[in-house]
Structure 1
Amino acid sequence: MMKDLEYTSATEPGDAEEAKLLRTISRRKLLASMGLSGAALLSGGVLYAHGQGGSVTQSVYGGSGTFPHDADEIAYQLASTTPERTVGDKQRETVSVKDFGATGDGTTDDTAAIRAAVDYANVAGGTVYFPAGTYLVGSAPGIQVHSYVHLLGSGSGASLIRTNGNLTAPMFNTVGSRICFDRLALQAPNTVNAAALINMTGGENITVHRCMLDGGHTAIWLSPRDGESLSEVRITDNTMEHFNFGVYIGSHHTQLIGGTIRNVIIDRNVIAKGQKIGDGGDGIKTVRSCSHLIISSNYIADQSRDAIDLFASGDTVVITGNILVNCFVKGLDIKSDLQNYPESKYGFNGRRLTISGNIIDNSGLAGVAISQNADNGDYNYLIDVSHNQISRSQNEAITFSGRFITLSHNHIFENCLASASYHAVRIGKNLPIALTKDVTIQSNMIVNNGSDAGAGHALYISAYVEDCLVQGNTIQNDPILPNAKQKRGLYVNQLTKNIHVKDNRITGHSTIDVTVVTNADLLGESSGVTIGSLAAGTGGEYALLSMPRPGAIIRATWIASNGIAADATDYVVLDLRKRSGATVTSLSQHSTATTAVSAFTRSTFANVKYVPVAKGDILTVNITQNGAGKEIKNGYFLIEYIEM
């Protein structure tokens, strides 16, 4: 508005006494008095007295025309071909908080002025601009931001909004859609109450971009009210420091149902230097009904608990390209607990998750933990963990239980640094109610994990794990690389079922490469040989398998197309042997003197399960006949083994 400026052309006749009072003003001063930038306003645009035809140029530099008192009486036209409107309209496209009395001097309480500016924009939408300065607000500002409002700062921390005490209510509440926070700095030092700098209570298309958020309980809180939804949220290119939680998704309040949260992108943020309030917090935490979430390319460091915690919530989530370092508890924590956090309130637990291409370093406990509540047997499922670099975790690099989980192409190096016996990769929980099933562990590098006092394994498969493929992994202790303290390779516990071990390289461990407990159900490679038919009284030694790599026998069986009755006088002895160079070792014998053989039925050699064999060892069967012997028709031998 231009209430204090009056201009009369020097060529206009008037009272001589009045003429003495006229001020000579420049074009720049005129525009400055209008609060406008000459370059921005007049680049291709024309100003003139609205409805009077005299241009502002004429008014300033001479000629006919008058200049009105109010910006709404000044016409603005971008070009001769564009519509005419007033300078007032042009100015109102962006309002400054200083237009409403904010000082930005760092000492005056500007809460009321900022609220007035935002309320003005709330009516019809628009941009509220914060010129460079420090704007002090009270401890419970609770400024409501409605739809189509854009809060804009000067960037690089120049526009700082700071509380004057412990924040007890959100600094800003979003209560609409298409809202943007851009290039602002928000600060709430010494805040311990559960209040956020930016609290989102519902709506869609809400953006926080290029902001610097510092100090407090929570930087950004996505907490839709009961029955409402929050969607299309973008949190990008921000810096968040000194918080208990950087981004908190949902509400932990047990009495609230809360709204749904979906389609959220958290990308390219720095979330660092977390502070501990109470039990501590996380860089990013979900606790309620969140789906279609992308967490990508963030740097999350120095958190008092986890870098990312999907706490009993998370459906269709992609976590990719993040750097998660120096967190006191875990790099990434995914929990399933429908008993204590039911789907009706919290949404479904972790399912349909992709965790890929992350660097997870120096976690206080585990690098990645995918766990389930053992009290009720619920589980996470359909999870892909691939192409991650996980190192220097004090406990496990990866521990998980659930259904349909893939662990592939990860580099797992220098974990299990604590003195206790942790395993670099642990599958399952050794609990029957916490069954882990349908798992693929493929093409991982598990190298040099362990400590001087630790007695854990590189890969540990717990009891009650079923239908698990372990293929193409390198499990090795390498003396050339740092932390060559991985003493034990693969461990398969009892009460497992259909554990298929194939094409792995397991070597270099000082204690043992492979441990398979009795009653483990292990599958591996197989080699079958047909020796044909033998007449009663005939025999010989037949080669069955030459070991391509070191390994162990899982089982050896044979089949004939005819039945052979038990006969203590006339019988056949089949002797399974291992030839290591010139050394011949009998591994097991099967005799029809005491044990009958049914046609087309597998007969198993006893006591050969998990007998180690070296590369180049040859397994044979030596058949001898006693008395008149017995005929063997279409004899077939099958050796199942694993390679290391």
Structure 2
Amino acid sequence: MNTFLTRFGLLIALSIFLSACGGGGGGGGSFGGGNTPESPKNSTSASSVSTSSIKSSSSKSVSSSSSSSLVATSSSSESSSSSSLVNSTSSSVSSSASSQSSSALSSSLNSTLSSTSSSRSSSLSSSSKSSVSSSSSSANHFVVADITAAFDVATGTATQPKLTIKNLDVGDELRIYKETECEGADIARSISVSDKLQLQFGTPLELGHHHFSVAVKKSGQNNFVCTSVYPEYSVVPVTSQFVNVKDFGARGDGVTDDTAAINAALASAKTQAKHLYIPAGTYICNQATNVNNSDRLLTASIGGWNNAVIFGDGASSKLVTSLNTKSTLMYLYAYSKVTNFKIYNVSFVSNHAPAQTEYQYGLFLQGTGVQNMVGADVSDNQFIGFGGALQGQGLNGLNIAHNEFLAPRGHDESKFGTTPAVFVWLFDNANGLCNDVKVHHNFADGFSGDKNLANTVSKRAMDGFFLGNVYGLEVYRNKTQNFIEEHYIFLPPSTAPDTAATIYAHDNYLDASIIPGSQLDNGQPKKDNYGFRSDASHVRIENNDIINFTLGILVRTFDNLQLQAKDIVITKNRFSSGDDSGAYTVRSAIYVIGNTNFALDNVEISQNHIELKSAAPTKSYDALTIAYVKNTVVKENEILQLYSGVSAFSVIARNYMNVSSVEDFANTVQGSNLIPYKKNANDQINFH
């Protein structure tokens, strides 16, 4: 941990340094400019840049299950559930469908809407859900049969799609939700009068990749059940309104270098205000253009390229680089405004040498200090083998969703040193900042290979998934695993330190397992990591699952004596500690500490469930630790001891230091060797 804290202390200085390295000017920014995350999906008219048709998609699910086309028939068998969705219990659905290969988009305008169905384990446990509040006590057996849409060749537009559901009982009520898992307002609803029901969506679909969920209330029941069936499909431009990279000489054969051809296609698509299509294939991209000592492979100025889409056929559309130098596979910049720009169904791959000598980035989105990129959307893509898969800055409204981030060689994907190896990094410096970002439904694995550290140079996994200074951030329903440092870091803002913008992290699943044999740079064992770390204000961390933790949630301004953080809520999270003392050094589920100049102000730690599993801990363990705080409430937390034979364990705060105005009540402690509370004599704490 100490090594990481030292490394983390360099981040602010590093961001300042990077701001001088590029971006904001005519020559373009270097990596300091960063990549910015997503904005909420904006409603893009299908005719804003082009008319649209519908194509099948091969997208990924957060649960890493295979997806298949619903143009044929997709059957799903939903298991019964008797728990409320508010209590994070959801149905498990197994779906199958006949697979369908992606057709060449240039062949026909007569397209159908096809979708993919995947088995997802939805955890609808947030208290702010829609009317889908609890599950039925009886089993539901229905089939999402297909999704179809008519296509008007004369006008080049798709009509409202229809979702067909079979095996219903008369009186079953259904609701359809778009881009959510049964949350918010539904877009279609009906009551079945037979065993088959067809729901028509209210409006034509905009260009892009879409996700829908189905909620069912069985006849005679009072509550809706949100299914795990999650239909997915893409709306893509018609042939006349996109540029195909193969029309510019790209081969996609895995041998020919296609860098120049794809760059020519990018430039042509922008000039013609068309979209860019990357058909299935393996496109080698190794011919770099050096700008400010940063090799950029595929690059384009996208200012004014509004409502445009770069799209492929999913994992089969591979952009591949094998460089072992500092480079960016795709660099997109906007020195004038661009709105509603989308990238989806593309695979970004780095097949570099065994260990990197410089950082390599997959996709870099570069706006400017006035946030010229508005409403960007990076969804349903795959990033494999990058030390920095997605970076950005100068973005206003960014959506990063349903992507897959993989590191087959762990930390070997990144340059060694003090700069974090994280998949998503968003910057705040002189080149621009990021507003209103959503990061959701992504899957990230910091060592997706064989888990044999002996086959690596670094002997450890990637550092983390997300790091950034963001003004308005929501992080939810992501699944992360196999990281050696932090899964998430929320940095304090630099440009506007007094911002009231909020950070909300909820309903994420973090497996904090440490691969046995993990090492630091000096060869010493690495036995601890973090789930969430935050140094920012106005942060709410709620309803997350953190398993095998060594330090679950860390709120720490101790390293920066100028930080005045406030308004921290940590509530309704579930923690389960690592249980192998040989691989883990368990510290705290929740550790909150201000600094000697400024105590953390207005902190709530409530309704968290903590399980201590370690069979042979080697040191005193604190489930909850707070220090240098004021106006703080610690209440209604539950701590369970799941081992025996070890004494001298405190539960609430081993070392309260300069603590004032703390209310501590209604916490539940179960375990024969747990010491409920410790405090310093001068601390102002009221125990109830």
Deviation at 1:196, TM superposition (A): 1.6
Q: Which ranges of structure 1 fall in alignment gaps of 5 or more residues?
A: 1-31, 48-88, 337-349, 429-434, 479-485, 503-644
| Contact 1:142/1:169 (8 A) holds in 2 | no
Is 2:340 the counterpart of 1:160?
Answer: no
In the superposition, relative to structure 1, how do residues 372 and 415 fare at CA in structure 2: closer, same or farther (>3 Å)?
farther
Distance 2:588 2:665 in 1: 21
| Contact 1:282/1:309 (8 A) holds in 2 | no
Deviation at 1:34, TM superposition (A): 12
In the superposition, relative to structure 1, how do residues 440 and 231 fare at CA in structure 2: closer, same or farther (>3 Å)?
same
Which residues of 2 match residues 11-410 of structure 1 at below 5 A? 35-37=106-108, 39-40=110-111, 45=153, 91-138=239-286, 140=288, 141-144=297-300, 146=302, 147-148=305-306, 149-155=308-314, 157-166=315-324, 168-176=326-334, 177=338, 178-190=340-352, 191=356, 193-202=358-367, 203-222=373-392, 224=393, 229-242=394-407, 244-250=421-427, 257-274=430-447, 281-288=462-469, 290-313=470-493, 315-326=501-512, 328=514, 329-336=528-535, 350-363=536-549, 365-373=550-558, 376=561, 378-393=563-578, 394-401=586-593, 402-410=600-608
Which residues of 2 match residues 451-470 of structure 1 at below 5 A? 455-460=648-653, 462-470=656-664
Correspondent of 1:490 among 668, 677, 680: 677
Is 2:637 the counterpart of 1:438?
Answer: no
Deviation at 1:287, TM superposition (A): 4.1
| Contact 1:389/1:411 (8 A) holds in 2 | yes
Distance 2:154 2:553 in 1: 62
| Contact 2:109/2:239 (8 A) holds in 1 | no
Distance 1:207 1:102 in 2: 25
In the superposition, relative to structure 1, how do residues 43 and 264 fare at CA in structure 2: closer, same or farther (>3 Å)?
closer
Correspondent of 2:640 among 426, 447, 451: 447
1:9 paired residue number: none
Superimposed CA distance per residue, residues 493-527 of structure 1 (whole angstroms, 9 cap, x where no aligned partner) = 22201x1111xxxxxxxxxxxxxxxxxxxxxxxxx
Q: Greater shift after overlay, 459-468 or 325-334? A: 325-334
Which amino acid in 2 is paired with 1:408? S
In the superposition, relative to structure 1, how do residues 388 and 465 fare at CA in structure 2: closer, same or farther (>3 Å)?
same
Distance 1:361 1:93 in 2: 48
Superimposed CA distance per residue, residues 258-309 of structure 1 (whole angstroms, 9 cap, x where no aligned partner) = 3121100000000113489799754333344x11001100001101211111
Task: Name which one, 1 or 2, has greater alpha-carbon Rg.
Answer: 1
| Contact 1:193/1:217 (8 A) holds in 2 | no
> Runs (4+) of structure 1 moved beyond 6 Å?
275-280
Which amino acid in 2 is paired with 1:239? E
Distance 1:274 1:245 in 2: 12
1:600 paired residue number: none
Deviation at 1:122, TM superposition (A): 1.5
Deviation at 1:447, TM superposition (A): 1.5
Distance 2:542 2:251 in 1: 48
SS state at 2:270 partner:
helix
| Contact 1:139/1:168 (8 A) holds in 2 | no
RMSD over equivalenced CA pairs, Å:
3.1
SS state at 2:313 partner:
coil
| Contact 1:217/1:277 (8 A) holds in 2 | no
Superimposed CA distance per residue, residues 361-381 of structure 1 (whole angstroms, 9 cap, x where no aligned partner) = 113x31111112267263421
In the superposition, relative to structure 1, how do residues 111 and 301 fare at CA in structure 2: closer, same or farther (>3 Å)?
same
Correspondent of 2:619 among 407, 420, 430: 420
In the superposition, relative to structure 1, how do residues 44 and 382 fare at CA in structure 2: closer, same or farther (>3 Å)?
closer
| Contact 2:257/2:287 (8 A) holds in 1 | no
In the superposition, relative to structure 1, how do residues 115 and 477 fare at CA in structure 2: closer, same or farther (>3 Å)?
same
In the superposition, relative to structure 1, how do residues 270 and 415 fare at CA in structure 2: closer, same or farther (>3 Å)?
same
TM-score of the superposition, structure 1-length normalised? 0.56
In the superposition, relative to structure 1, how do residues 113 and 209 fare at CA in structure 2: closer, same or farther (>3 Å)?
same
SS state at 1:259 partner:
coil
Deviation at 1:132, TM superposition (A): 1.0
Paired residues, what number?
Answer: 391
| Contact 1:145/1:179 (8 A) holds in 2 | no
| Contact 2:530/2:551 (8 A) holds in 1 | yes
Distance 1:396 1:295 in 2: 23
Superimposed CA distance per residue, residues 72-116 of structure 1 (whole angstroms, 9 cap, x where no aligned partner) = xxxxxxxxxxxxxxxxx9744011110111111111101111111
Distance 1:451 1:246 in 2: 39
| Contact 1:420/1:453 (8 A) holds in 2 | no
Distance 1:451 1:278 in 2: 33
Identity rate, percent: 20
SS state at 1:216 partner:
coil
Distance 1:212 1:396 in 2: 34
| Contact 1:420/1:454 (8 A) holds in 2 | no
Q: Greater shift after overlay, 272-281 or 383-392? A: 272-281
Which amino acid in 1 is paired with 2:396? S
Distance 2:464 2:374 in 1: 23
SS state at 2:247 partner:
helix
Distance 1:265 1:230 in 2: 12
In the superposition, relative to structure 1, how do residues 422 and 104 fare at CA in structure 2: closer, same or farther (>3 Å)?
same
Higher relative CO (CA 8 A, sep ≥ 6), structure 1 or 2? 2
In the superposition, relative to structure 1, how do residues 317 and 44 fare at CA in structure 2: closer, same or farther (>3 Å)?
closer
Distance 1:281 1:134 in 2: 25
SS state at 2:678 partner:
strand
In the superposition, relative to structure 1, how do residues 449 and 397 fare at CA in structure 2: closer, same or farther (>3 Å)?
farther
Distance 1:248 1:95 in 2: 30
| Contact 1:334/1:369 (8 A) holds in 2 | yes
SS state at 2:251 partner:
coil
Distance 1:33 1:237 in 2: 24
2:225 paired residue number: none
Superimposed CA distance per residue, residues 145-185 of structure 1 (whole angstroms, 9 cap, x where no aligned partner) = 51333111112x11111113225221112223322111111
Distance 2:105 2:667 in 1: 71
